[in-house]
Amino acid sequence: MRSFTAIATASLIALSAASPEPIFKRDDAACMTQAEAQVVANNFQELIADYTVEAANAYLTTDFEDNTDSVTELINGGCSGPETLGVATFTSRAAFEAAQGAQDAIPFEQLNVWYNCDTVFLRWRTALTPESVTGIIVGETTQNTNATTADAEPWLINTLYSEFNSGAWLVDTGSFVPTGCSSSTRRMLRV
């Protein structure tokens, strides 16, 4: 029994020492590497923390779409509408560029990055005050087959799905004012 345990332990150590493979690897398509997945995560972070139109054009496909009820809730300011929940927030790269270009930079730290063949999963946290905000982003990518230069991005973000604590964000921006902050007290909308 001890030899089985030693073999099993050695096998686990060998597996963990090998470079990670993407989860859900497909045999019918090229898959991004861990390093390429990290580049996609870094590119997204740049779009939020240090936005430029040039970065958006370099990192996003022309038919880019962003789906996030959290951002829609912020656009609505905590009210019901005018934007509809449950549908794409930005249906084009141009719409994303207009919205992102009009807001302040949002620095955040990457907590975790996971990936599969063509999707990057990023868990992040920003140190806004008084409440930190944590979120998750799922970025579906497309291999950049039109890359003509060595510095072109090998993977472009095609579709984003993201969610975060928009309630905490509304507190941080002053749209909601905490009242009492006990477990039985709800946040109230400042009018």
- Which stretches of the chain drop beneath a pLDDT of 70? 1-29, 78, 175-191
Residue 65 pLDDT: 96
Nearest to 100 by CA among 153, 57, 139: 57
pLDDT of residue 27: 55
- Please provide the DSSP assignment of 15-55 as one string: HHHSPPPPBT--SSS----HHHHHHHHHHHHHHHHS--HHH
How high is the pLDDT of residue 3? 47
pLDDT at 23: 53
Domains parsed from the chain with CATH numbers:
29-175 (3.10.450.50)
User: What global pTM score does this model have?
Assistant: 0.75
